[in-house]
Amino acid sequence: MLMAWAPSVRSALRRMLRGPDFDVVLAFIAFGALLIDPLATHQVKELTPLDAALALVTAVPLVLRRRYPLGVLFAIVPLLLACLAAFHPDRTAAGIVMLVVFTVGLHGHRARARVVGALMAPVVAAGVLITSRHLGSDWAAETVAYLALVLGALVAGDAVRARQELVRVLAEEAERERAAFAQHRFDEQRLRYAHELHDVVGHALVAINVRASAAAHLARRERGASPVNRARGDRVDLGRGAG
């Protein structure tokens, strides 16, 4: 029973994750995370209404991330840098950039997405490190980690896009093969019907010809044996005898 429900549940989850409502929920989650992160990591003691407004403005573009991935990336990176300078949501900022870069790799132009993502990775890493209040002695390792995370998100988005394209190409190829097989079956069936019709019509024509020939032969025999023809023959014989 559970195995029968599994495909429908997976397809429902895919539709939900791909729908615009999920992006709205994701924007609300990002808004909450931007406010909670600096408090949880003790970057700040309290947040101001201006900080909340800035977090809201930063999270809103995520609603359009799949429709305009590059535009959202260019809009959200300066806003995140402003958030980092104001109330230091370091981890959330990196996570949001990873999400947007992943979306760029998944939905954006392939070559352009790679270039933009590769350029944005050091910008975000530098912004997080420069604005961080707790920069330790291992700042180089943190820089490499942020770079790896952002670039990894870009590579993951590109890999998912490549897999989707492969699945689409395989589906189109399978559809073409099914159409070709159906056309081949149709042609074979049409040829078989043509042969059967040819045989039936040929046999019928032969039978008609044989019957017509037999009827003509019988008609000739009946004309030769009729009384009128016999009387004519007798008169001819009498005429010959009198002469």
DSSP string, 58-125: HHGGGGGTTTSHHHHHHHHHHHHHHHHHHH--HHHHHHHHHHHHHHHHHHS-HHHHHHHHHHHHHHHH
Question: 206-240: per-residue pLDDT in tens?
Answer: 888 888 888 777 877 777 655 555 555 555 454 44
Check if the beta carbon of residue 113 is closer than 8 Å to that of residue 153.
Answer: no
Question: Model pTM?
Answer: 0.64
pLDDT digits (tens, 9 = 90+) for 148-158: 888 888 888 88
Q: Is the pLDDT of residue 191 over 90?
A: no
Q: Positive or negative, the Cα torsion across 207, 208, 211, 217?
A: negative
State residue 187's pLDDT score.
Answer: 86
Of residues 238 and 90, the one with the higher pLDDT is 90
Range among 7-11, 55-59, 178-182 rated most confident: 55-59
Q: How far is the C-alpha of 135 from the C-alpha of 142, rounded, in Å?
A: 9
Greater model confidence, 29 or 153: 29
Taking CA 44 as the corner, what is the angle to CA 41 and CA 50, rounded to the nearest 5 degrees?
A: 125
Cβ–Cβ < 8 Å for 121, 76: no
Measured distance CA(81)–CA(102) in Å, rounded: 19
**Residue 47 CA: distances (Å) to CA of 81, 82, 164:** 17, 14, 42
Angstrom CA distances, 240 to 226, 235, 237, 243, stand at 22, 9, 5, 5
pLDDT, mean over the chain = 78
Whole-angstrom Cα distance, residue 72 to residue 99? 11
Q: What is the pLDDT of residues 102-132, one digit of tens each?
A: 888 888 777 777 777 777 777 777 776 666 6
Q: How far apart are CA 158 and CA 33, in angstroms?
A: 26
